[in-house]
Structure 1
Amino acid sequence: MRRAGLRSAEELELRPEVSSWLASLGRLALLAGDLDEANDLHERARRIAAERSSRQKEQFAEIGLALAARRQGRLDDAERHLRRCLEWNRSREGEPGVALSSRARLRGGAARRRRGRARPAP
């Protein structure tokens, strides 16, 4: 169903909607454990959103990239993605809750995993 939505948005050249569908499919790939596909879909979504100056859609894709990087153990990349979201939230005087809590969890979770106390996040 989501792939059909993506195809429709592409056929109608609705670029912002294409970004949303790609990011949604990226989240599904993330949940399924297909991290390479999740990275690809989120990066495509981020790129399209940036081309269209849709910061909210770009941020949604960026968080997906951070989640995939975290699951792959690429904590520096995950933090880089989350810092971009944090900067954007601060520039809008928004609440940086997602970026801050995710950053803290990814660093704390990695330390616990190294000590053998926690499983990787799903």
Structure 2
Amino acid sequence: MNDLQQLFSRVRKEGRTLHKKSRGGGLSDNMARNCHSLCHRALEKAVAERLIVKNPIEECKVPPIRRKEMQLLIREELQRLLIQAGDEGYYEAFLLELATGLRVGELMALQWNKAHPGHLR
């Protein structure tokens, strides 16, 4: 267990291999939790197959989930965003997202109906 705890501590402090200069050397708490989850599932399989008696990761501490307060754009920031989106040909997509609250994946899955311009399918 101690080895695993040290691994997760090291990952959080110096686990990043890409973008070290701009984002720092450590991984986010969320990524550390993902690593923990992956190891947990693998070790649970080892327990199920009787390769080990107990899952050693059970005693490891994982970083807590920290919720950040949502930051809303003010009217002037929204206007600048839509102007920039319009300049780059994405005005309708951004306006639709802002008006409906669609997630990015949902928004990107939409297709324009060529038979009836202005309609989505």
TM over 0.5: no
TM-score by length of 1: 0.26
